């Protein structure tokens, strides 16, 4: 059973495809979540981490620019070690790479492989924040 508190979660999304970013954002907003920040690159989120204080991060593992999704996630975890992070990727090798990364091991991290159903994203978000 969902708690009312979970519906007020603040979510930051980092996704390189603008259409998918809009899809995730619109779906989660309509479900009652607060999408507080959206990015298509991982280069410039550092300055917004403290300002927005997200409850969970949705990150595409492959991002354009100078940083990968994994690098963005490790930066977030350096600042907020207990931050829940949901990777969404089309790279089928990514779950294994994430498990091998010592900075991501034993953290609140989950990986969903594209194509992903929007309900799966919401389910994973709720599981991660309740860990």
Tell me the two tokens of residue 77.
Answer: 């975890």
Q: How far apart are the first and last CA of the chain?
A: 15
Q: Are 10 and 50 in contact (CB under 8 A)?
A: no
Q: How many CB atoms lie within 10 A of CB 44?
A: 12
Instruction: Tell me the sheet residues that pair with 76.
Output: none
Give residue 102's Cα distance to chain centre. 18
Determine the Cα–Cα distance for residues 73 and 81; give it in Å rounded to an integer: 10
Note the CATH number of domain 4-129. 3.40.50.2300
| pLDDT tens-digit map of 9-51 | 999 999 989 999 999 999 999 999 999 878 888 877 777 777 8
| pLDDT tens-digit map of 56-98 | 999 998 888 888 899 999 999 999 999 999 999 998 888 888 8
Q: Where are the domains of the chain?
A: 4-129
Region 104-126 average pLDDT: 95
Determine the Cα–Cα distance for residues 67 and 65; give it in Å rounded to an integer: 6
Tell me the two tokens of residue 92.
Answer: 């089928």
What pLDDT score does 6 carry?
58
């Amino acid at each position: 059973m969902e708690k009312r508190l979970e519906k007020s979660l603040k979510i930051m999304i980092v996704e390189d495809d603008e259409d998918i970013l809009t899809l995730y954002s619109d779906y989660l907003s309509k479900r009652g979540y607060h999408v507080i920040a959206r990015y298509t690159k991982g280069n410039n989120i550092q300055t917004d981490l403290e300002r927005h204080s997200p409850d969970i991060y949705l990150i595409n593992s492959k991002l354009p620019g100078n940083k990968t999704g994994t690098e963005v996630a490790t930066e977030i975890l350096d600042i907020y070690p207990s931050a829940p992070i949901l990777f969404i990727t089309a790279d089928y090798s990514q779950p294994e790479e994430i498990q091998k990364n010592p900075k991501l091991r034993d953290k609140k991290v989950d990986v969903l492989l594209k194509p992903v159903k929007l309900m799966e994203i919401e389910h994973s978000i709720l599981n991660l924040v309740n860990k």
